[in-house]
């Protein structure tokens, strides 16, 4: 018997069940179909400005920084200012995200590069699929628009998120993923990012910038 068949047989023997049992199968199909939510914390269940405010507070709790701009057109200036304030070079790598591409980068002195990172970039910007107010988490999906390497290789990662995409909870983001990719479908990678990279492995002391970005900066776009 193959390892696979052996393992399945042993699971069924231990559970005292048969693979052909239709009632169990129905329960599983129904559960996958219905995807019950379980217990959703009250904390994130707020709307409008209150939700944006909660998101920003939680982002800061995760040791990232956050700023807000009134429109997409203000994003380049805001990022240029962030880099200047931290004495960082005026370079920036990004993918092919149409929302980022449409922004007026030429109004700044930033030197822009496109495509995935090969590990030598100081600064990168990505556009989030959404934000989660409950925990201050950014949800990123992979693809040519926002290559996953930009989330991890640069020293300083800037994430742009639309205020309208900031959801109450993780479950609301999964609903949007299902809407975009079909039920049971997924992007190759979904990254939830909650703060800059860190490690506590040496004497349980919290240190930022382990292998991923040392700094995480979030730009919330109203409008």
Partner 1 sequence: MTVHTTSPQFKKNAAQALGDAQLQKALGNVKQGFIDKRVKAAEKLPEFEALRDSARDIKDHTLRHLDLYLETYEDKVKASGGHVHFARNAEEARSIILGICREAGARTVTKGKSMISEEIGINHHLEAHGIVPVETDLGEYIIQLRNELPSHIIAPAVHLNATQVEQDFRRVHTHLDAKRDLSEPVQLLTEARAVLRERFLAADVGITGANFLVAETGTSVIVTNEGNGDLTQILPKTHIVLASIEKLVPTLEDVSQILRVLARSATGQELSVYTTFSTGPRRPGDADGPENYHVVILDNGRSSMLGTSFEEMLRCIRCGACMNHCPVYHAVGGHAYGWVYPGPMGAVLTPTLIGVDKAGHLPNASTFCGRCESVCPVRIPLPKLMRHWREREFERHLSPATVRSGIKTWGFFAKRPALYRLATRAAMGALGLAGRGKGRFAWLPLAKGWTKYRDFPAPQGETFQARWRRERKGRAA
Q: Which window, 76-84, 122-130, 160-168, 208-216, contacts partner 1 (CB under 8 A)?
A: 208-216
Query: Per CB under 8 A, which region of 29-37, 75-83, 84-92, 105-113 contacts partner 1?
Result: 29-37
Stretch that binds partner 1, among 65-73, 76-84, 132-140, 158-166 (CB under 8 A): 132-140
- Residue 10 interacts with partner 1 (CB under 8 A): yes or no: yes
Residue 122 found at the interface with partner 1 (CB under 8 A): no
Long-range contacts of 104-111 (CB under 8 A, 24+ apart): 104/73, 104/76, 105/76, 107/76, 107/77, 108/76, 108/77, 108/79, 108/80, 109/80, 110/76, 110/79, 110/80, 110/83
Q: The tokens of 125 are what?
A: 């910007």
In sequence order, what DSSP letters do the residues of 173-186 get, joined into one string?
A: HHHHHHHHH-TT--
List 17, 81, 102, 122, residue binding partner 1 (CB under 8 A): 17
Nearest of 87, 123, 200 to residue 208 by alpha carbon: 200
Site for partner 1 in 144-203 (CB under 8 A): 144, 147-149, 151-153, 169-171, 174, 177, 184-203
Please report the sign of the dihedral spanned by the C-alpha atoms of residue 11, residue 17, residue 22, residue 25.
negative
Binding segment for partner 1 (CB under 8 A), chosen from 35-43, 47-55, 82-90, 160-168, is 35-43
Which residues inside 69-88 make contact with partner 1, applying CB under 8 A?
A: none
User: Which member of 27, 102, 113, 122 binds partner 1 (CB under 8 A)?
Assistant: 27
The strand order across the sheet containing 166-167 reads 137-141, 130-132, 166-167
Site for partner 1 in 44-63 (CB under 8 A): 58, 61-62
CA distance linking residue 1 with residue 183, whole number of Å: 34
Tell me if 98 contacts partner 1 by CB under 8 A: no
Number of residues that bind partner 1 (CB under 8 A): 82
């Amino acid at each position: 018997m193959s390892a696979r068949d052996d393992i399945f047989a042993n699971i069924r023997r231990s559970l005292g069940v048969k693979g052909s049992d239709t009632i169990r199968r129905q329960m599983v199909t129904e559960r996958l179909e219905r995807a019950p939510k379980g217990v959703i914390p009250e904390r994130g269940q707020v709307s409008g400005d209150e939700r944006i405010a909660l998101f920003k507070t939680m982002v800061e709790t995760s040791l990232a920084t956050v700023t807000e701009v009134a429109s997409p057109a203000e994003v380049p200036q805001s990022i240029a200012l962030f880099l200047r304030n931290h004495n960082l070079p005026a370079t920036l790598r990004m993918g092919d995200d149409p929302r980022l591409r449409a922004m007026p980068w030429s109004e700044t002195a930033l030197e822009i590069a496109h495509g995935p990172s090969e590990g030598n970039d100081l600064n990168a910007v990505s556009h989030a699929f959404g934000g989660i107010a409950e925990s201050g988490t950014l949800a990123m999906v992979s693809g040519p628009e926002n290559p996953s390497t930009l989330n991890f290789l640069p020293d300083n990662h800037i994430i742009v998120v639309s205020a309208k995409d900031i959801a109450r909870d993780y479950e609301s983001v999964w609903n949007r993923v299902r809407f975009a990719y079909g039920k049971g479908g997924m992007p190759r990678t979904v990254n939830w990012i909650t703060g800059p990279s860190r490690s506590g492995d040496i004497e349980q002391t919290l240190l930022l910038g382990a292998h991923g970005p040392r700094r995480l900066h979030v730009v919330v776009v109203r409008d």
